């Protein structure tokens, strides 16, 4: 993962209402193992975060100037100047919104495979202790990658080469601290272009319809469900979207276009690439419930085939009960 440019600035904002103090770095981070580890750990933590938003730049304006500064840098401008101008703008937004948000702001331009990215993230520290060589202990600060709340990643290659794309920016969304998240998104100049959870739910609905239409044996349906979830989770883990063509090949190697053609013929309105929403995928694996001595758990693909749900009556109709359960019920009713 070649790192083209990286730099860290600091916004010192105390919760007492005093003005934010910006500390600007005049030098980029040097290429080193520590810098590579920093970006690697950050990417792992970012990819693991759930509840991301996906979008694209607003038209450049005084309200959303970042894309213009980024364009100037990509056309041969100075990275330090770009990051300095950007972090000054972020500090101004924090002051205007009266947010008690501060930290170290990392700008990193790097390449992964053939794709160029820019990541912008507000880093926080946690305190711990370390044991010295003389067996004494010393307080120690370290970057807390689990405590990342303000971050965005821009697929620069997609932005430059595919002007019609509506999902080349991903950013963290939070139910708590939404005001800070919204200001950070405005700082990036991003508008939501793709509803990740909604697209994922539509994909899973299409898959359930496909399984029902194919009248698959339960073992085959389970195998295809596992292929879908495994592929989608793997894409989410590396921060890449689900590609419908690749997914179709994973689901059925003998008929690699079967699921893809099914989606297109039914016109679900899905994009060729879908940002994988991990929370939605996790919910798809199984339906579970427990109350008053009753415990129910079944794989999602069985709903509509072996299991029918009556919403009005609040009941489930089960078919093909396991032999062991049927024997127990027979003995109990004898």
Report mean pLDDT in 10-residue bins for the chain, 334 residues: 92 81 93 92 87 88 94 95 96 82 92 92 85 84 83 94 88 76 91 85 88 78 86 85 90 89 84 83 73 75 76 86 86 83
Instruction: Centre a 10 Å sphere on the Cβ of residue 266 and count the other Cβ atoms it contains.
Output: 13
Note the pLDDT of residue 286. Answer: 65
What is the C-alpha to C-alpha distance for residues 51 and 276, in angstroms, rounded to an integer? 10
Sole residue written with tokens 């920093």: 38
DSSP H helical segments within the chain, as ranges? 33-48, 66-74, 79-97, 156-161, 178-188, 196-214, 218-237, 244-251, 258-266, 278-285, 323-333
Helix (H, G, I), strand (E, B) or coil at 229: helix
27's CB contacts (< 8 A; 6+ apart) are 7, 80
What is the C-alpha to C-alpha distance for residues 239 and 220, in angstroms, rounded to an integer? 29
Instruction: Centre a 10 Å sphere on the Cβ of residue 294 and count the other Cβ atoms it contains.
Output: 7
Note the pLDDT of residue 175. Answer: 62
Note the pLDDT of residue 152. Answer: 95
Note the pLDDT of residue 301. Answer: 61
pTM beyond cutoff 0.75: no
Cα three-residue angle 24-26-31, rounded to 5 degrees: 115
**Residue 189, φ and ψ in degrees, nearest 5:** 85, 35
302's CB contacts (< 8 A; 6+ apart) are 218, 221
Which among 119, 260, 129 is positioned nearest to 203, based on CA atoms? 260
Assess contact for 282 and 225: CB atoms under 8 A.
no
Note the pLDDT of residue 305. Answer: 67
101's CB contacts (< 8 A; 6+ apart) are 11, 13, 94, 122, 150, 180
Which among 174, 165, 129 is positioned nearest to 147, based on CA atoms? 174
Note the pLDDT of residue 264. Answer: 85
CA atoms within 13 A on the CB side of 226: 6
- What DSSP state is assigned to residue 19? P
145's CB contacts (< 8 A; 6+ apart) are 41, 42, 44, 45
Instruction: Centre a 10 Å sphere on the Cβ of residue 214 and count the other Cβ atoms it contains.
Output: 16
Rg (Cα) of the chain, in Å, rounded?
25
């Amino acid at each position: 993962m070649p790192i083209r440019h990286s730099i860290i600035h600091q916004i010192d904002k105390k919760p007492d209402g005093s003005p934010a103090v910006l500390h600007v770095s005049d030098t980029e981070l040097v290429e080193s193992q520590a810098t590579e580890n920093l970006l690697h750990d950050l990417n792992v933590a970012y990819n693991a975060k759930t509840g991301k938003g996906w979008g694209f730049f607003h038209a450049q304006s005084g309200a959303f100037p970042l894309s213009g500064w980024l364009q100037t840098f990509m056309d041969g401008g100075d990275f330090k100047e770009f990051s300095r101008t950007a972090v000054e703008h972020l500090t101004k937004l924090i002051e205007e919104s009266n947010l008690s948000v501060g930290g170290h702001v990392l700008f990193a331009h790097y390449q992964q495979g053939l794709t160029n990215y820019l990541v912008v993230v507000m880093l926080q520290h946690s305190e711990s202790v370390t044991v010295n060589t003389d067996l004494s202990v010393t307080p120690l600060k370290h970057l807390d990658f689990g405590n990342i709340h303000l971050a965005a990643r821009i697929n620069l290659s997609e932005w430059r080469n595919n002007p019609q794309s509506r999902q080349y920016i991903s950013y963290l969304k939070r139910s708590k601290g939404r005001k800070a998240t919204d200001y950070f998104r405005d700082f990036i100049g991003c508008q939501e272009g793709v509803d990740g959870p909604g697209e994922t739910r539509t994909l899973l609905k299409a898959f359930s319809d496909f399984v029902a239409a194919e009248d698959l044996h339960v073992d085959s349906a389970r195998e295809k469900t596992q292929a879908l979830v495994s592929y989608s989770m793997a894409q989410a883990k590396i921060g890449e979207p689900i590609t419908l063509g690749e997914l179709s090949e994973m689901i059925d190697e003998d008929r690699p276009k079967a699921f893809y053609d099914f989606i297109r013929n039914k016109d679900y309105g899905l994009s060729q690439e879908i940002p994988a929403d991990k929370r939605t995928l996790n919910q798809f694996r199984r339906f579970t419930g427990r109350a008053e001595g009753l415990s129910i758990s079944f794989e999602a693909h069985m709903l509509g085939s072996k299991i029918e749900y009556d919403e009005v009556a609040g009941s489930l109709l089960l078919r093909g009960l396991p032999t062991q359960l049927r024997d127990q019920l027979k003995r109990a009713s004898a």
